[in-house]
Amino acid sequence: MAKEIIRIGTRGSMLALQQSGMIKDTLENLWPEISVELQVIKTTGDKITDVPLAKVGGKGLFVKEIEDALLDGSVDLAVHSMKDVPAVLPEGLQIGAVPEREDPRDVLIMRQGKDIADLPKGAIIGTSSLRRAAQILKLRPDFEIRMLRGNLETRIRKLHEGQYDAIILAAAGLRRMGWNDKISAFLDPAQFVPAIGQGALGIESRVGDERIARILEPLNHPQTAFAVQAERSLLKELEGGCQVPIGGHARLSGDSVELVGIVASLDGTEVFRSHQCAGVNDAVELGKRVAAELLRSGAKRILDEVYKSSVKPLEPEIKT
């Protein structure tokens, strides 16, 4: 008897294929009666690589075409890096499972040295993330930030070609690729707050597709799901995306969830922070409360300024 085929929509980068491949293997081990196929879909974010995401629409650029394929039935589910998924999903789609989270921290990869203090005055730091740029400038205002786009291997190659003194990446992607040895320094998430959902995968499916809901159920990790729920609630309340330096990191301890959220000015001179706890069943309300405190403390002014004016692009990267 032929196996039932399940199609996963995925981006085509090495990391995206690695992540989707992990989900494929897990599903096939759990459900021997199904065969999982990966369907590579090129997103707008993959096509536009020469300008900051903040200038061309932000997060949804890495998921829209894949979500379109889900909605028209071309694929049965999609595997995303959760930090790429906008706070509001298209009607008819849902996050069907959130597997256990990888390391949520940001990391430095440096050509020389093992700590941020080892970088020289005026060091050139590569990142296309406004959140990362703002926070690294808060720690070291002397740094020069230059735009860095591309997949993991491209970014690391550009570093070693001498275009940057250091680059900032997510630990999770490097760990999933088995590239732990490339990491120079981990950035403490209490001080350097990660992106919303960083380190977590989101498996997106169609609302009402009971067949897919059944096979995804064992993949969901409740602790990770609660933490990501709190973070995404914060993001939704702040109406944020790649255009604004917003960070959020939630951790579970027993039956409670602890959430720290930040909103930063683009130059890193101002960083508004809120840190609160709640029961896991109040994760969504916790995100709303942290957002409200941030707005009261002065973040609303930063958000209003950014939304009213076009974001100044980071300095162009040195061309190869």
Structure tokens at 35: 């065969």
- Please say whether the beta carbons of 8 and 38 come within 8 A: yes
β-strand 93-97 against 124-126: which pairing, if any?
unpaired
pLDDT at position 239 is: 79
pLDDT-flagged residues of the chain (< 70): 44-61, 240-243, 309-320
- Please say whether the beta carbons of 133 and 245 come within 8 A: yes
For the chain, count helices (H), then strands (E).
11, 13
pLDDT at position 293 is: 97
pLDDT at position 169 is: 97
- Please say whether the beta carbons of 150 and 164 come within 8 A: no
Q: Residues 6 or more apart from 314 whose CB is under 8 A from it?
A: 52, 127, 128, 133, 145, 146, 147
Residue extents of the structural domains in the chain: 106-187
d(CA 313, CA 317): 11
In CATH, what class is 106-187?
Answer: alpha beta
pLDDT at position 240 is: 62
pLDDT at position 252 is: 94
pLDDT at position 46 is: 60
Helix (H) or strand (E) holding 2: none
pLDDT at position 61 is: 67
pLDDT at position 48 is: 57
d(CA 126, CA 284): 34
| 315: three-class secondary structure by DSSP | strand
Active site residues: 84
**Its pTM surpasses 0.85:** yes
Name the β-bridge partners of 34: 4
- Please say whether the beta carbons of 226 and 170 come within 8 A: no
Q: What is the DSSP letter of 53?
A: H
